[in-house]
Amino acid sequence: MNNLKNLRGTVDLLPNQLIKWQNVEKIVLEQLSRASIKEIRTPILEMTELFIRGIGEGTDVVSKEMYTFLDRGERSCTLRPEGTASVVRALIQNGMSSNPLQKLWYMGPMFRYERPQAGRQRQFHQLGVEFVGYESVRSDVEIIALAWDILGKLGIKELNLEINTLGDQDDRLKFQKSFLGWLEKNKNSLDLDSQNRINKNPLRILDSKNIQTKKILANAPRLFNFLSEKSQKRYSELKNQLDSLKIPYLENHNLVRGLDYYNHTAFEITSGALGSQATVCGGGRYDDLIKQMGGANTPAIGFAIGLERLILLAGKELEVPRNTDIYIINQGLIAETLAIDLSRKLRNYDLLVELDSSGSSFSKQFKKANKLKSKSIIVIGDDEAAKKEFIIRLFDKSSDGNKEEVISFENNTKLENWLNNNLLLK
């Protein structure tokens, strides 16, 4: 029992680490709120069938990576490996799939049994955005721009946007027939994983990371050459609008993403600062998924961002905690009670208030306030407590303003004036 540890692929996020997490999340949520996108929360645990139908049985996620088990009712359950399928299930179950034009976001833990590495754990955290009911190219451009701007707002450098079109269902069927014929002829030259995908998920072979297979694929049929005129026009319009917004992009016709439900637009945003695991954001259009899972025929597009990778890439300045506004130094039984009451009042002004509850000497409490770089301090000792007063002053003696005041606990006006002059309006 003395050797209990967390499971491989899971990590403890400690208070000092969470400062950066919270700052990143705050910026992200501000951007989403400004774009009028609403939050949705779904269970971490779902029926396994949801992901088999929603993601695709031939995908690596379903066949190799899911945490699946039987519960006490002998039902097959899975810890969610991604968020889109759960959102779609929630929309259908709650009668919302027939209500078009919804912009939703979610954030929370996901689970995949993968080899842990920098920025990728078996329990990881994901931000997802889904535009449901939107069919036009404009919605594709808007959601790509939203992802691009979120990453830019976080100060992430060396960003690259890659785009592709997967066409519609008819385009892919025509391509797949030709591609399967080519795969059978070249099967023995492919890596083992790609050989195993031929009868399960052949399109996924296009996204192989195996160097030898990538060389061979250079001579394979291209999906782009099987696109209908309508699909080609849609893709051209996407590129034109991205050009208008001055969002740079690269075309990658082997970009197919890892899930079965995508059609038309697929995109990834990578960062050169991440090395081989460069993908920060990935997404695409999934017009058939909601109908496939039992809902109304509803177009949709979305993206997901792994928060662990965001944390690795976000600027150092986001690691800096907010300084304490007021540190309350107190000593004595009556003073301690008054200090608690005052701390509650001060927090209503949206101030970061640290109440010293150590009972140590004034000198030690002053040192702690100095260590925390507190902007100001309040002192309540036996003398102040007897007079129902406290001393408030700026801790930095070089600061401008009314450096010190003696204020009665009953005089709220004098307290507010001091706060406005020295903290709130600074």
pLDDT at 1 over 60: no
In a domain, 131, yes or no: yes
pLDDT at 257 over 80: no
In a domain, 35, yes or no: yes
Is residue 264 located within the same domain as residue 403?
no
Is residue 285 located within the same domain as residue 351?
no
Q: Considering only CA atoms, which of 278, 77, 287 is closest in space to residue 158? A: 278
Is residue 161 located within the same domain as residue 247?
yes
The tokens describing 380, both together, are: 């309540």
Average pLDDT along the chain? 90
Number of domains in the chain: 2
State which residues form the domain around 390.
322-424
In a domain, 20, yes or no: yes
Question: At which of 317, 342, 376 does a domain end?
Answer: 317
The tokens describing 141, both together, are: 């451009």
CB 340 within 8 A of CB 334: no
Residue 114 CA to its chain's centroid (Å) = 19
Angle, helices 84-93/48-55, rounded to nearest 10 degrees: 110
Is residue 88 located within the same domain as residue 234?
yes
Is residue 155 located within the same domain as residue 248?
yes
Amino acid at 294: G
DSSP codes of every residue in 209-228: --HHHHHHHTTS--GGGG--
On the 0-12 / 13-18 / 19+ scale of CB atoms within 10 A, 106 is: buried
Is residue 398 located within the same domain as residue 253?
no
DSSP code of residue 258: S
In a domain, 349, yes or no: yes
Give the H/E segment covering residue 159.
strand 159-165
Domain at 361, CATH number: 3.40.50.800
Distances 408 to 108, 266, 338, 390 between C-alpha atoms, Å: 46, 64, 11, 7
Question: At which of 272, 296, 317 does a domain end?
Answer: 317
Q: What is the mean pLDDT of residues 68-92?
A: 96
In a domain, 360, yes or no: yes
pLDDT in tens, 198-235: 877 787 787 777 888 888 888 888 888 999 999 999 99
Give the H/E segment covering residue 70.
strand 67-70
Placement of tokens 């939203």 in the chain: 146
Q: Count of CB atoms within 10 A of residue 220's CB?
A: 16
Q: Which residues pair with 46 in a beta bridge?
A: 78
Q: What is the pTM (predicted TM-score) of this model?
A: 0.86
Is residue 81 located within the same domain as residue 30?
yes
Is residue 260 located within the same domain as residue 338?
no
Domain at 77, CATH number: 3.30.930.10
* 3 state DSSP class of 132: strand
Is residue 331 located within the same domain as residue 313?
no
pLDDT in tens, 157-205: 889 999 999 999 899 889 888 988 898 888 888 888 888 888 777 877 8
pLDDT in tens, 298-335: 999 999 999 999 998 988 888 888 899 999 999 999 99
CA 212-214-215 angle, to 5 degrees, is: 65
Q: Rounded distance, CA 80 to CA 50, Å?
A: 10
Is residue 76 located within the same domain as residue 114?
yes
* 3 state DSSP class of 299: coil
Is residue 395 located within the same domain as residue 334?
yes
pLDDT at 260 over 70: no
Question: At which of 274, 293, 317 does a domain end?
Answer: 317
In a domain, 183, yes or no: no
Share of the chain above pLDDT 90, in %: 65
Residues whose CB falls within 8 Å of the CB of residue 149, separated by 6 or more in sequence, listed in order: 31
Distances 96 to 252, 296, 304 between C-alpha atoms, Å: 35, 9, 21
Q: Considering only CA atoms, which of 81, 87, 74 is closest in space to residue 52? A: 81
Q: What is the mean pLDDT of residues 37-52?
A: 96
In a domain, 196, yes or no: no
Helices (H), 2-83: 15-34, 48-55, 60
pLDDT in tens, 381-421: 999 999 999 999 998 655 554 578 999 999 999 999 999 98
- Ramachandran bin of 108, using left for φ above 0, alpha for ψ from -120 to 50, beta for the remaining angles: left
Is residue 262 located within the same domain as residue 382?
no
In a domain, 180, yes or no: no
